[in-house]
C-alpha cells in the first residue's frame, strides 16, 4: 500500500457526533476529502446544512443525521432500524456546557457534562457495534475516535480567565478524563476484533468568534503553548485522518495530544 493509499478512506463510512461545531466541521471536511461518506450528526437539521453544502461543493459525500446522542432509545433505534450498512469510523465529538469553577458549579453540571461526553459515547459505541463489526468483516478494520481534551490531562490555569463564569469548568475536564480512560478500556475490550479505539486531546483551539472578539485572551493562551501560538481548526484534520485511516492500523488505546506542547511543560 502506497503512502497516499494509507490515508485513503475511499468507500468507507464515518459518523461524527457534534459535526457542525468548530472542530467537528474541520474533522468532517477532512474525512470527506479523503473519500469517506460522512454522516453529520447534529441536534437540529439546520445546523448541519451549511457543512453539508460545503462538503458536496468539494465533491464529497455526506448526509445529515438529526439525533440527540443523549437519547439512548433514539440512538438504539437508529442503529437497529435505519443503519443496516457497515460503519468504518465513529467519532464521538459531541459536547455542550458552560463555564464555571468548583465554587460556582452545581452537582447537575457534572451530571450533564458526563452524560453528553461519557455516557453518550458509551451508548453510541454499544449501539454501533454490529455496524462496526460489519466494517471489520468488509475491510478488516474499524476505528473509533473519542475527542477528549488537554483539560482531561491537566487542570486549566484559572488565572487566564476574567471571571468564574468564563473559566473552563471542572466538570468539563472531569468528563473528558473519564472519556480518555474509557477509551483505553474499550481499546482492550474490542481490539482483538479489529475495532480500534483511540482518543485525541485537542489543546487551545479557540473558535473564530473568540479569536476575533477576544484577541488579548487568545494572546495569553498562545503564551502558554511551547509553539507560541494557538491551534487552527484545520490542524485537527491530520491527526484525526491518521487515526481513522489504515495508516494507524496498529495504533490502539492511545490518547493523542494535539496541543502544541501545552501538556509537555
| Coil, strand or helix at 257 | strand
- Grid cell 468548530 — which residue? 22
The domain ranges of the chain are: 3-254
- Write down the pTM of the prediction: 0.96
Element housing 89 (H / E): strand 89-92
For β-strands 13-16 and 255-258, DSSP reports them as unpaired
- pLDDT one-digit tens code per residue, 220-248: 999 999 999 999 999 999 999 999 999 99
**187: left (phi > 0), else alpha (psi -120 to 50), else beta?**
alpha
The C-alpha cell that represents 35 in the structure block? 473519500
Sign, Cα dihedral of 36, 42, 44, 49: negative
Residue whose C-alpha is closest to residue 205's, from 187, 232, 177: 232
The fold of the 3-254 domain, in CATH, is Rossmann fold (3.40.50)
d(CA 233, CA 203): 11
What CA–CA distance (Å, rounded) separates 116 from 180? 14
Q: What is the pLDDT of residues 89-130, one digit of tens each?
A: 999 999 988 999 999 999 999 999 999 999 999 999 999 999
The pLDDT value given to residue 4:
67
Residue 1: pLDDT over 70 = no
**pLDDT tens, residue by residue, 66-97:** 999 999 999 999 999 988 799 999 999 999 88
Amino acid at each position: 500500500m502506497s503512502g497516499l493509499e494509507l490515508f485513503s478512506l475511499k468507500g468507507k463510512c464515518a459518523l461524527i457526533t457534534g459535526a457542525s461545531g468548530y472542530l467537528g466541521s474541520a474533522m468532517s471536511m477532512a474525512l470527506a476529502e479523503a473519500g469517506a461518506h460522512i454522516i453529520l450528526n447534529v441536534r437540529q437539521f439546520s445546523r448541519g446544512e451549511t457543512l453539508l453544502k460545503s462538503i458536496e461543493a468539494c465533491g464529497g459525500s455526506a448526509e445529515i443525521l438529526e439525533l440527540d446522542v443523549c437519547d439512548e432509545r433514539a440512538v438504539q433505534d437508529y442503529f437497529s432500524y435505519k443503519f443496516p450498512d457497515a460503519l468504518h469510523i465513529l467519532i464521538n465529538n459531541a459536547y455542550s456546557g458552560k463555564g464555571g469553577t468548583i465554587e460556582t458549579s452545581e452537582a447537575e453540571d457534572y451530571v450533564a457534562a458526563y452524560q453528553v461526553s461519557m455516557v453518550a459515547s458509551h451508548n453510541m459505541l454499544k449501539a454501533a457495534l454490529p455496524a462496526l463489526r460489519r466494517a471489520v468483516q468488509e475491510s478488516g478494520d474499524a476505528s473509533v475516535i473519542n475527542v477528549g481534551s488537554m483539560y482531561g490531562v491537566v487542570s486549566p490555569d484559572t488565572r487566564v480567565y476574567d471571571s468564574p463564569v468564563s473559566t473552563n469548568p471542572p466538570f468539563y475536564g472531569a468528563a473528558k478524563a473519564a472519556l480518555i480512560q474509557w477509551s483505553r478500556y474499550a481499546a482492550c475490550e474490542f481490539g482483538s476484533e479489529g475495532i480500534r479505539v483511540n482518543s485525541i486531546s485537542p489543546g487551545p483551539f479557540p473558535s473564530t468568534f473568540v479569536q476575533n472578539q477576544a484577541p488579548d485572551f487568545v494572546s495569553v493562551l498562545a503564551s502558554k503553548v511551547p509553539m507560541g501560538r494557538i491551534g487552527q481548526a484545520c490542524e485537527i484534520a491530520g491527526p484525526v485522518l491518521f487515526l481513522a485511516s489504515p495508516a494507524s492500523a496498529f495504533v490502539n488505546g492511545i490518547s493523542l495530544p494535539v496541543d502544541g506542547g501545552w501538556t509537555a511543560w
